[in-house]
Structure 1
Amino acid sequence: MFMFYVLFWSFIKLSSAQIPQFGPCPDINVMANFNSTKYSGTWYEAERYFAYYELGGKCVRAEYRVKHDDTIVITNQQESAMTGMRIVVRGEALQQSRSQPAKMLVRVMPVPLDLATPYWVVHTNYDSYSVVWSCNDYNYFHTENAWILTRQREPSLDTLQKAYTIVDENNMSRAYFAKTDHTNCTEIEPEKMLEIV
């Protein structure tokens, strides 16, 4: 079972940033004076770049909780559109530096390997939307990912437009975003839930 976790999360690390591009990661400005406490709570995934580990996933949501040391505990969950099974994954977001608290690294718990993935909050108004960026350098190319998160499962057009403005201002491609399916998101019986902790 342990080897399953190692292989599973190794795959997650390699596929966590899905859009390959030539050259190094682009310069993306992150939010100044990011407040992790205000960021805590429930976020729904409105749109995302393609990622293998979310293939067939719907009803994606995340709970963020701040610990006393400013570490953010993240509980991500999604349902399989094919089986209805819910997958729950927990991790921690650690600030890379105190001068730029919006730049974080996410580590999945309790895997004992260094599988940290960048998680940069480009901008959020805390109340309705957040634009998140991730990029990994591999010498001559890089892979990137991005998410638009919202406080409501079905955000208003005004909320999405505010997020798109941030995307455009940072030269992030809108072409790679796909809308996350949030239809028929219901509670699932415990016996159908697969929880990885």
Structure 2
Amino acid sequence: MLRFFMVAFFVGASAEVLYDGPCPEVRPMENFSFKTYQGLWYEIARFPNVGEEGARGKCTTASYTVDGDKGKVRNTQVIDGVKSYIDGDLSLVEPGKLMLTYTFGGKSKNSYLIVLDTDYKNYAIAYSCKNLEDTNKHQVFSWIKSRSQTLEGAAKETVDAYLRNSKFIESAKYIKNDHSEDACKATVTRAITEFYRNY
């Protein structure tokens, strides 16, 4: 059985990017269009996280289908020739803030994703944060996404500029994804069918 590590997308219960204090107040981008955001996104880079097995998850994608302020999401990744995927429900909590809900065995888990910036056609920068219970720390997750398997030219320059000016994202924390033919080669496809642990 494949287990689902969950905070947002494939995010796990413990993360490698930790900071002192509670989650900062982070606002989504203005004038966000949920409908235009739908479709297939390739993960170009991410903060390392348990759900994507640190740096091991390759060829990672997220596909959104939107109907009004609701929708569906499918996340996929490849590890050691096995392509795993998880399907979930999607809802727009507020412009630029999405709630993802995954249900197994009658139990549901929610996670929240903030879209910091996107031009819808080329790039997107996403963010998630979770306060750690019984500690004075928080976990941070972030993803750089593209409509294609690479991010180049003006779109890359825009992302780089955003990150340089960001007060809450350390760009050095990102690890690059691999969308090469070898990395995406999978001989087995499996659905993730249970949560990794109870919260």
Pick one of 159, 162, 166 that aligns with 2:162: 166
1:126-145 superposed matches below 5 A = 126-138=120-132, 140-145=136-141
Structure 1, unpaired ranges of 5+: none
Partner of residue 191, structure 2 = 195
Q: For residues 148 and 118 of structure 1, what CA distance do their matches in structure 2 show?
A: 16
Q: For residues 37 and 161 of structure 1, what CA distance do their matches in structure 2 show?
A: 25
Query: CA 1:186–1:173 in structure 2 vs 1: closer, same or farther (change >3 Å)?
Result: closer
Other structure's SS at 1:94 match = strand
Q: What displacement does 1:193 show?
A: 0.8
- Give the partner amino acid of 1:19: V
Q: For residues 14 and 145 of structure 2, what CA distance do their matches in structure 1 show?
A: 17
- Cα deviation per residue 1:144-183 (whole Å; 9 max; x = unaligned)? 1000000110221432221122223332110110110111
Higher relative contact order (CA 8 A, sep 6+): 2
Query: CA 1:21–1:186 in structure 2 vs 1: closer, same or farther (change >3 Å)?
Result: closer
Deviates more, 1:175-184 or 1:134-143: 134-143
Other structure's SS at 2:6 match = helix
Query: CA 1:48–1:111 in structure 2 vs 1: closer, same or farther (change >3 Å)?
Result: farther
Structure 2, unpaired ranges of 5+: 194-199
1:2-151 superposed matches below 5 A = 8-9=3-4, 11-13=5-7, 14-15=12-13, 18-55=16-53, 56-68=56-68, 70-80=69-79, 82=80, 84-96=81-93, 100-110=94-104, 112-138=106-132, 140-151=136-147
Q: Are the equivalent residues in 2 in contact too, given 1:65–1:74 (CA < 8 A)?
A: yes
Other structure's SS at 1:116 match = strand
Q: For residues 44 and 189 of structure 2, what CA distance do their matches in structure 1 show?
A: 23
- Select the structure that is richer in helix: 1
Deviates more, 1:166-175 or 1:47-56: 166-175
Q: Are the equivalent residues in 2 in contact too, given 1:88–1:194 (CA < 8 A)?
A: yes
Please report the TM-score for the alignment, with normalisation by the length of structure 2: 0.82
Please report the TM-score for the alignment, with normalisation by the length of structure 1: 0.83
Q: For residues 148 and 100 of structure 2, what CA distance do their matches in structure 1 show?
A: 23
Identity of aligned residues (%): 25
How large is the RMSD of aligned CA atoms in angstroms? 2.2
Q: Are the equivalent residues in 1 in contact too, given 2:83–2:190 (CA < 8 A)?
A: yes
Q: For residues 113 and 22 of structure 1, what CA distance do their matches in structure 2 show?
A: 31
